[in-house]
Structure 1
Amino acid sequence: MKFNGFTDNDFDVFTIKGLENRMEAIQQHIRPNLEYLGEYFSPALSTLTGDEMFHHVAKHARRSVNPPDDTWVAFANNKRGYKKHPHFQIGLWGTHLFVWFAMIYEAPHKAEFGKKIEENADKIRKIIPPHYVWSGDHTKPEAVKFSSMSRDEFLSLTERVQKVKKAELLCGVHLDRETVTELSGEELIHKIDSVFETLLPLYKMN
């Protein structure tokens, strides 16, 4: 299979009504691309991180009524799953593509990680570019640009991860669908690769 990037048709999948219909379209249009990216980036991330990384394409298996509003492939150093581990993600909402480093609420060491991020807040300001975005909830499409966060707001995000069970910490890039659909598969892979390299110091802090 050749990866040609994502098209408007891929993003439009999230407007399809009904769980079965949308899932069928995700499997047909988006999942082959996510599988390709999974196969491509697993060895690349293994080399980058020094850990053997495995890819996990979202199956949305627990859904019985509501169709998914986003879908993704995640990479973690665990063959059985990624949610309890620091991981990387590539995925789509109807409005944009996201490339994340993520520590979500299932991770048992989330609080310790939040503490480490808090202690290294000034260093992180220097190594994570201002146009990168942060989120405290992977189930919502919104995220805050680093350049628009004050130091106190950033510290508040890191403190919340330590104290609130459902709080999360995600950092990465949002590429709007207009940008993504204009990129070739090769250009998109190159862009994702560079995001992962930038996010590596966060992974190394876990």
Structure 2
Amino acid sequence: MFDKNDFKVFEDMTLSGRLDLIKANLDPKFEIFGSDLLRHLEDEYQQKFFMKIAKHQRRTKNPPPDTWLAINQDKKGYKKTPHLEFGLWPDRYFITFSLLADIRDRQKYYPILRKYQKKIVSEGWGVSNDHTSSQLLPADNFEKIITHYQNVKSSDLVVGFELLSSSQTVSDGNYDQLLKEKFLQLSKYLVDFNQEISSQN
């Protein structure tokens, strides 16, 4: 389903043109892929999950620099809760687990992050303090990332995986299963963090 032609949507530098390409070429793939992820998550965890595909409706001038689908466990919306995203920057696919700057009950997540820190590092996920940047740092930066998240209110906490468009994997094709496996592997942090928060309430 996914292939190197996915990135051609970013070659259109106009707002309307890029949005039309995203709607025509990527959103149908997101719908299929995301629905499959929802089924697997709900079968695996026997819990409810919700999906949102980005529509970029607030953009009035500049074309979106990336596009994505998001999955979380709160039907009211995903941005103020722990959530997973799968999407594309112009040069890579990304799969991330995020706690954004304005997440509800932010301070409650600090000890949870410390609890799972070694596991996240040992699994080799990329990490970042900025969900609006495509770059993920190596996992051994996670101590700095957590500390920054605790000390800087405007910062995010991002854990994830990226697959560069220039990689041999993308050139070879047939990597849908890899993306699915990485997403499902990362999903355990969404469920675990939500359970940790629930146990505190």
1:59 pairs with 2:47:
no
How many Å separate the matches in 2 of 1:103 and 1:83?
Answer: 8
Match for 1:144 among 119, 125, 137? 137
1:113 pairs with 2:120:
no
Whichever residue aligns with residue 143 of structure 2, its letter is L
Give 1:5's aligned residue: 2
- Gap runs ≥5 in structure 2: 195-201
Pairwise mapping of residues 68-147 of structure 1 onto structure 2 (< 5 A)?
Answer: 68-126=64-122, 128=123, 130=124, 132-146=125-139
Q: Is the 8 A contact 2:127 2:137 kept in 1?
A: yes
Whichever residue aligns with residue 172 of structure 2, its letter is E
CA 1:154–1:46 in structure 2 vs 1: closer, same or farther (change >3 Å)?
Answer: same
CA 1:77–1:119 in structure 2 vs 1: closer, same or farther (change >3 Å)?
Answer: closer
Give 2:199's aligned residue: none
Whichever residue aligns with residue 163 of structure 1, its letter is N
How many Å separate the matches in 2 of 1:68 and 1:177?
Answer: 18
Q: Is the 8 A contact 1:97 1:180 kept in 2?
A: no
**Aligned alpha-carbon RMSD (Å):** 1.9
Whichever residue aligns with residue 55 of structure 1, its letter is M
Q: Structure 2-normalised TM-score?
A: 0.85
Q: CA deviation at 1:53?
A: 0.6
> SS of the counterpart of 1:121?
helix
Whichever residue aligns with residue 156 of structure 1, its letter is K
Q: Is the 8 A contact 1:111 1:163 kept in 2?
A: no
Identity of aligned residues (%): 28
> SS of the counterpart of 2:84?
strand
How many Å separate the matches in 2 of 1:76 and 1:103?
Answer: 11
Give 1:41's aligned residue: 37
Q: Structure 1-normalised TM-score?
A: 0.83
Give 2:158's aligned residue: 170
CA displacement 1:70-104 (0-9 Å, x = unmatched) = 00000011223211111111100110001111111
Q: Is the 8 A contact 1:161 1:168 kept in 2?
A: yes
Q: Is the 8 A contact 2:121 2:142 kept in 1?
A: no
How many Å separate the matches in 1 of 2:87 and 2:42?
Answer: 19
> SS of the counterpart of 2:61?
coil
> SS of the counterpart of 2:52?
strand
CA displacement 1:7-41 (0-9 Å, x = unmatched) = 32x20211211111111111111111111112111
1:183 pairs with 2:173:
yes
Q: Is the 8 A contact 2:37 2:184 kept in 1?
A: no
> SS of the counterpart of 1:144?
coil
- Gap runs ≥5 in structure 1: none
Whichever residue aligns with residue 2 of structure 2, its letter is G
Q: Is the 8 A contact 2:84 2:95 kept in 1?
A: yes
How many Å separate the matches in 2 of 1:78 and 1:205?
Answer: 13
